[in-house]
Amino acid sequence: MFWTAWAILSVVGDIVVWVFVGPHTPPGALTETAKSDQFDFNVLLMFAVPVLIGVWMWLAFAIRFWNVKRGGPDPVGGEAARNNKVAQVSWIGITSFVVLFLAGFGTWALVVDHGSGGGEGPNPVWSPAGAVKAETAAATGNSSWKVGEPLVVQVIAQQWRFTYRYPQFGGFESQQINIPAHTTIVFNVTSLDVIHDFWAYQLGVKADANPGINNVAYTETKGTGSFVVRCAELCGIWHGGMFNYGKVLSQSAFQNWASSTEAANAQNTKFLPAFSWTYYPSANGAGGGYYPAGNLTPYSPSETYGSATPAS
């Protein structure tokens, strides 16, 4: 009786959750990465629902039926009440199996999805095709981006804002982040001061920004759309105010935005430190004009920094 009810409720629960909840679970499906993180989440839900239902039902049963108010004979002690081989062995067996399966599944998802959008440190072991080549080229400071190739974006966090450098576009630095659709994006995340965390929610990307360390994360965009960037590691007083918005543009719109920003910013870019994977903070550093140095004010005010983002 109990187990039949449990089986039915679990199947129904799983179907309902998969069909009605699944499409809305985070982080959505703006990128391939987000989509597969969402798939993972939903798979875990499929296991969670029967477990929750089973234990809750059991507790409800206990409250309703195994209650002293219902009278009946006293429970009998002794070996039968202390141990039940079948129950114990199957409990341990089933939980072990589920756990091992989930660990295996998580590992598989992590590997095939090139780190699932998480920070993979300076030398990622699981990277998408072409990413390493694009990075190596970008490091020289004079590569350029062509449609279809991975785009390298450097995320520089500091108290309390993010700026973005585009090494394939002359290394200009912007407070806006725009990326092209249907493209592999290589994020190189670093910090100038304390630890921050670059969390692009809808992209399914999260990577800590450590000072002096290049933390790489990948995503593969699909269609156009917009996303929020929030700092997800406590970085001091204004941590709560450290966010901005970005866009996934069509490839040609992106190309236009990036090239025109590159041109508009050329006079500022030449005062920036040469593109590199990490920076030490300095008054004249890579901070997007946040700490302009003395009477040398090479940066435009933040409002006019970069070109206006096209609608999509």
Partner 1 sequence: MTISAERPVDVVAGAPSLPVSKVSWTQRPGWVSQHLGTAVVMGFLGYVFGHWLGNYIASGYTYVQNTGQNNIADTLALAFMVLGWLLGIGALNYPLLKIVGREPAEEEIPIKHWSRFFRFSLDHKVVGLQYVVGVLLFMFTGGLLAMAVRAELLSPTFHLFSADTYIKIVSEHGTVMMMMATSIIVGPLGNYFVPLMIGARRMAFPRIEAFSFWIFTAGYMVIFAALPYGGFPTGWTGYAPLQTQAGPGMIGYLLGFAVIGTGMIASGFNIGVTIINYRAPGLTWNRIPVFVWSILATASLLTLATPVLFVGGFLGLLDKTVQTAFYVNEHGGSAYLWQNLFWFFGHPEVYIMALPGFGIAGELLPVFTRKPLFAYKVSAAGMMGVALLSFFVWQHHLFQSGINPDMRPLFMLTTELISIPTGFIYLVGLGTMYKAKIRFRLPMMFVMALFFNFLIGGVTGVFLSDVPVNVTVHGGFFVLAHFHYTIMGGLLFAFMAGLYYWLPKMTGRMMNEKIGKWHFWTMFIFFNLTFFPMFFIGLLGQPRRVFEYASNLQGLNDFASISAFLLGVSFIIFAFNLAWSMWINPVKAPANPWDSLGLEWQTASPVPHDNFERIPVIMTDPYRYGEPDAPAFADLGVAVGSNSHEA
Which residues contact Cu ion by CB under 5 A?
196, 231, 235, 239, 242
From residue 208, how far is each of 40, 92, 212 by CA, in Å? 22, 37, 12
* CB-nearer residue toward Cu ion: 145 or 162: 162
Query: 3-class DSSP state for residue 226?
Result: strand
> Smallest distance from the beta carbon of 79 to partner 1, in angstroms?
9
Q: How far is residue 199's CA from residue 206's CA, in Å, rounded to a whole number?
A: 4
Neighbours of 133 (CB within 10 A): 13
> Smallest distance from the beta carbon of 94 to partner 1, in angstroms?
9
* CB-nearer residue toward Cu ion: 42 or 244: 244
> Smallest distance from the beta carbon of 236 to Cu ion, in angstroms?
7
Q: Which residues contact 189 (CB under 8 A, 6 or more apart)?
A: 119, 154, 155, 157, 198, 207, 208, 209, 214, 215, 216, 217
Tokens encoding 224 = 């156009």
Confirm or reject binding of residue 245 to partner 1 (CB under 8 A). no
Stretch that binds partner 1, among 142-150, 166-174, 226-234, 282-290 (CB under 8 A): 226-234
> Smallest distance from the beta carbon of 206 to Cu ion, in angstroms?
12
* Angle, CA 221 vertex, CA 220 and CA 223 arms, to 5°: 155
> Smallest distance from the beta carbon of 268 to partner 1, in angstroms?
26
Interactions with partner 1, residue window 106-135 (CB under 8 A): 106-107, 109-111, 113, 115-122, 124-125
* CB-nearer residue toward partner 1: 138 or 205: 205
Confirm or reject binding of residue 233 to partner 1 (CB under 8 A). yes
Quick one: CA torsion of 267, 271, 274, 278, rounded to 10 degrees? -120
